[in-house]
Amino acid sequence: MSPDTIKAPRGTYDVLPGQSVARAALEARARAILEGAGYERIETPAFEHTDLFARGVGASTDIVQKEMYTLTDGSGRSLTLRPEGTAPVCRAYLEHGMHKRPAPVKLWYLSSFFRYERAQAGRYRQFWQIGAEALGSDDPAVDAESIVLLCTLLAELGVGDVRLRLASLGDADSRSEYRERLQDYLQTHSDRLAPEVRDRIGANPLRAFDSQHEATRAVMADAPRLLDCLSAPDAEHFAAVRELLDAAEVRYEIDSTLVRGLDYYTRTVFELTSDALGAQSGVGGGGRYDRLVEVLGGPQTPAMGWAAGIERILIASGAADQQAPAAAVDLFVAFTEPHLRARAFALVQLARSAGLAAQMELAGRALKRQLGHADRLKARYVAILDDPQSVLKDMQSGRQEDVASDAIVHAVLRGLRDMV
């Protein structure tokens, strides 16, 4: 390859032939599980007005501050490649009047997302998520059902060693009260905090729990916990979610330090990690976002959802390394002379319209190498077109017979039928 050959951008990857089968199987499983629970597929555009994410995800989050691919289009509008799917789904929900439908409105998606992150195994700049959002109800059973569906999906896809961590962030009131308590605490210990944590005490004190900085972690070990400051209705809601998860025999750990990287969460938050992954152990996560639709200009609409990264699911389940078998070929059409190409072409079309998987010689090979190619493709039958008579060879038994060209498709169909 010459040195100026263009490669794919860092943090992106190609889905190569053979790899798409595992992804298709994953999609089929997700569809069966989610649609079985009443979720309907939705797809939103790859880019949105930048404001949607600035308002929806939160101006002080890493995603909005550092990770968005934002561009100005030909008319001077600021557009952003979607870094996540919840804000776009809420935008579509409002724009299409879905808030008038009976609650909860359940939507799922499988789409690509874009974040300018440090690329490494399991972390990409274009990645894919399966997501599920249920809008319009604050019933704790919506939370529990949503979490159980993701657990079921991961279990059925063979993602091993999964840990479910669960917490509640309460509503805006519990949080602002707690925020002040936490800010006071952080100010008192600010000399021991990492500079970036100290800089964010005002804007986003909760992110201090996320820090890997050793002294900060020591400070945070004794920090006040939101879970201990929940209002009575929030505490009741969380208890009801836990009770339902217990009834479904879902194992979880309460983790009062759980911090999600998006600002829209209220009440329930959760994350699923798998030890089968390395440093990027988060397979999926989500929670309630009871204020997001309102923040985007809609009516008060409680909602709950999650997203899981499909690359991480594939890695954790071992499906990323599986090579799919090549597609079956019922009939390969070879020909002895170039002037028979048109006849071969017509025969392939006829075979395909009869439902056969058919291919023909397309690279100008001599007959011997055409047969070698048919062998590599593991073709079940090979037709060798000749003038005037053609030959049909059964590649399994090695038997061959003379056939008129217009009888080849029938002969293959008959042969395949007899086999079953």
> Applying CB under 6 A, which part among 78-86, 221-229, 314-322, 327-335 lies near ligand HAM?
78-86
Please name every residue paired with 165 in a beta bridge, in sequence order, or none if there are none: 253, 271
Output the six-digit token pair for 355. 């439902």
- Tell which one of 136, 205, 282, 302 touches ligand HAM (CB under 6 A): 282
Contact assessment for residue 166 and residue 242, using Cβ atoms and an 8 Å cutoff: yes
The partner residues of 81 in beta bridges, in order of sequence, read 47, 69
79 Cβ neighbours under 8 A, 6+ residues apart = 47, 48, 49, 50, 70, 71, 72, 73
Pick the binder of ligand HAM from 62, 133, 138, 139 (CB under 6 A).
133
C-beta of residue 34 within 8 angstroms of C-beta of residue 152: no
Q: Measured between alpha carbons, how far is 131 from 109 in angstroms, rounded to an integer?
A: 5
The torsion angles phi and psi of 43, rounded to 5 degrees, stand at: -130, 130
Q: Contact with ligand HAM (CB under 6 A): which of 58, 104, 284, 415? A: 284
Task: Please tell me the distance from the alpha carbon of residue 127 to that of residue 294, in angstroms, as a whole number.
Answer: 28
Work out which of 68, 193, 283, 382 binds ligand HAM, going by CB under 6 A. 283
From the list 122-130, 177-185, 192-200, 360-368, the region that binds ligand HAM by CB under 6 A is: 122-130
Choose between 238 and 335: whose C-beta lies nearer to ligand HAM. 238
**Residue of minimal Cβ distance to ligand HAM:** 309
SS3 content of the chain, % helix, strand, coil (to 5): 40, 20, 40
For residue 316, the minimal CB distance to ligand HAM (Å) is: 10
Q: Are 395 and 374 in contact (CB under 8 A)?
A: yes
**Span interacting with ligand HAM, options 70-78, 200-208, 304-312, 337-345, rule CB under 6 A:** 304-312
Subset of 233-262 contacting ligand HAM (CB under 6 A): 261-262
Question: Does residue 111 bind ligand HAM (CB under 6 A)?
Answer: no
Distances (CA, A) of 146 to 170, 200, 264, 307, 309: 18, 32, 17, 10, 16
Is 88 near ligand HAM (CB under 6 A)?
Answer: no
Q: Is 290 in the site for ligand HAM (CB under 6 A)?
A: no
Name the residue nearer to ligand HAM (CB basis): 255 or 394. Answer: 255
Q: Are strands 282-288 and 390-394 parallel, antiparallel or unpaired?
A: unpaired
Phi first, then psi: give them for residue 239, nearest 5 degrees: -65, -40
Closest of 255, 268, 176, 265 to residue 220, by C-alpha: 255
- Range 196-235 burial, b when 16+ CB lie within 10 A, else e: ebbebbeebbbbbbbbebeebeebbeebeebbebbeeebb
Q: Which is nearer to ligand HAM, 47 or 345 (CB)?
A: 47
Asked if residue 117 binds ligand HAM (CB under 6 A), the reply is: yes
Q: Measured between alpha carbons, how far is residue 413 from residues 76, 355, 418, 419 in Å?
A: 59, 9, 9, 10
Q: Which of 29, 123, 225, 341 binds ligand HAM (CB under 6 A)?
A: 123
Instruction: Kindly state the tokens that stand for 233.
Output: 């209705």
Nearer to ligand HAM, 67 or 234 (CB): 67
Least CB distance from residue 173 to ligand HAM, whole Å? 21
User: Which one among 56, 58, 85, 170 touches ligand HAM, defined by CB under 6 A?
Assistant: 85
Name the minimum Å distance from CB 308 to ligand HAM. Answer: 6
**32 contacts: CB under 8 Å, gap ≥ 6:** none
Min. distance of Cβ 307 from ligand HAM in angstroms?
4
Range in contact with ligand HAM (rule: CB under 6 A) among 84-92, 202-210, 248-256, 403-411: 84-92
Nearest-approach distance from CB 7 to ligand HAM, in angstroms: 19
Q: Which residues inside 348-387 make contact with ligand HAM, applying CB under 6 A? A: none
Q: Of these, 307, 329, 382, 395, which contacts ligand HAM (CB under 6 A)? A: 307
Query: Binding segment for ligand HAM among 19-27, 205-213, 241-249, 308-316 (CB under 6 A)?
Result: 308-316
Residue 56 binds to ligand HAM (criterion: CB under 6 A):
no
- 3-state class of 93 per DSSP? helix
Between 58 and 284, CB nearer to ligand HAM = 284
- The residues of the shown chain that bind ligand HAM, judged by CB under 6 A, are 84-86, 115, 117, 123-124, 127, 129, 131, 133, 261-262, 282-287, 289, 305-309, 311-312
